[in-house]
Amino acid sequence: MTSELTSLAYQLYGRQMILPEMGQAGQEKLNTATVAVIGAGGLGSPALLYLAGAGVGRILIIDDDAVETSNLHRQVIHSYARVGASKADSAAQTLRELNPLIRVEAVKERLTDANAAELLAGVDVLVDGSDNFPTRYTASRAAAALGIPHVWGAILGFDAQMSVFWAGRGPVYEDLYPLEPAPGSVPNCATAGVIGALAGVVGTAMALEVIKLLAGIGQPLMGEVGYYTGLTGRWEYIPLLASTSRAASGSGTDPSARTAVSGTDAGVQVAWQGQAPAPLRPPATDWEPATAEPDQYGMEVTWADIAGSPYFEGVPLIDVREPHEHAALAVPGSFNLPLSLIEAASTDPDLGSAIDTILPSHQGRYALYCAAGVRSLKALKLLADAGFSDLYSVEGGIDSWLTSQGQGF
């Protein structure tokens, strides 16, 4: 899979690429990643939807069950028209309709110790939304053997649990539940009931953990278990210790490679921040310019003007957002002159000289943009008051530019 982002990708993922923590670099990591989700049921449904929406490049759906009417109140990836159909196929169809840029594979099998290595080859993160203990223990052993993160959740009634396991870096599932319970000894949703919206709360949270792991941002929920009580709407977090004697349990983990965690410092500290984004591809220029109306200080123009008019050919494009915003996602060819610096320069002669160095000509033509067009207009006024002329503010800012990527300019 390639990390190159298309015009449609900018439209689909632009709102999360604007986030400094994500940026283009984080999006490219999602784009090249493979995630396997066990179970297209209550937890798998929201997790799958949000992983597809976020742009995870390849998603494996592992489920050997069929859609039943009783599933639909919580398994929202399916529809009434698909009752009786394969859950894996049904979920895959929904994801393909949601995002045409990703690759979705339906695996109509149950994960077992015999097929895990083959099915999970090349997987970066394993998501366990299964509803039975044999599969949960199999998933844990498989993730440990592959050395990949294992995002797990479980729901019953109004209550839920979730955590991120990672053999060699923190606890595994067997550290929470060392022994597999006897069949029938623990109630399930069919016998004890479950509120449908609970699956949405936890499945979505699981998807966010996956996104964090893949993009290298934030801190994953490792070394503790999140307990959610739907009747109060509260999360509590309980520290979980990684056992050093787990090898005998058959989990497939290497206890000598793990570090025990406990107390308020539970969890493994990892440098998750991604690298600075690479430059974006420039937009096409096969669009007729729109009419720009002058205002008191200059003109407010559109991206169509910038891309389609010879008048703007070679005009410097100035991003007046803050440096962390510019580093996350910027229009190709732009350079960063933050509004905060322009504001400070209006009262500080030394900073004013610095601005003159960045913008060497007071008579030169410059186009300014920000997130949505508000800050660029303010920057335009300040620069005009400082003696600059022939200034332009790009209407809609980078928000509009992201939309424009699918319109040929």
Cα distance between residue 385 and residue 366, in whole Å: 15
List 38's β-bridge partners, or say none: 62, 128
- Compute the Cα dihedral for 266, 270, 271, 274 and give only its sign: negative
What tokens does 390 get? Answer: 């022939």
Active site residue 189: yes
Cα distance between residue 208 and residue 152, in whole Å: 12
Cα distance between residue 361 and residue 327, in whole Å: 26
Q: Could you say which of 47, 60, 88, 189 is catalytic?
A: 189
DSSP strand pairing (391-394 vs 224-229): unpaired
Q: Could you say which of 33, 217, 370, 398 is catalytic?
A: 370
Cα distance between residue 249 and residue 251, in whole Å: 6
Q: Which long-range contacts link 245-252 to residues 24+ away (Cβ below 8 Å)?
A: 246/172, 246/174, 246/175, 249/174, 249/178, 250/141, 251/137, 251/140, 251/141, 251/144, 251/167, 251/172, 251/173, 251/174, 252/140, 252/141, 252/142, 252/144, 252/145, 252/167
Question: What residue type is 72 in one-letter code?
Answer: L
What tokens does 227 get? Answer: 């307990």
Coil, strand or helix: which one is 204? Answer: helix
Active site residue 248: no
Q: What is the set of active-site residues?
A: 189, 370
